[in-house]
Amino acid sequence: MTSPEVLRFIHYHEKSHLYWTSDWSPSFYSRLAYEGLISTTYESEEGGVVLIPELQRRYAVLDWKNLHISGHIRKILRSEQSNTYQLCINRDLQKVLTEIKNYHDPSWLNSEYARIMTKLQEEDNPSPCKTISVELRGGGGELLAGEVGYTIGNIYTSLSGFCRRDSEHKNCGSLQLVLLAMLLRQKEFAFWNLGHSEMEYKHHLGAKVLEREDFLIRWKQFRDKECQSLRGNYSLYDLLP
Rounded Cα distance between 201 and 187, Å, is 23
Q: What is the pLDDT of residue 1?
A: 52
Domain extent listing, the chain: 4-54, 58-239
pLDDT tens string 66-113:
999 999 999 999 887 778 899 999 999 999 999 999 999 889 999 999
- Nearest residue to 161 (alpha-carbon basis) of 173, 153, 170: 173
Q: What is the pLDDT of residue 27?
A: 94
pTM of the entire predicted model: 0.93
Which residues of the chain have a pLDDT value below 50? none
Q: What is the pLDDT of residue 196?
A: 95
58-239: which CATH topology?
Aminopeptidase (3.40.630)
Q: What is the pLDDT of residue 166?
A: 81
Q: What is the pLDDT of residue 81?
A: 75
SS3 content of the chain, % helix, strand, coil (to 5): 40, 25, 35
- Residue 170 Cα to chain centre, angstroms: 21
CB 96 within 8 A of CB 135: yes
CB 173 within 8 A of CB 163: yes
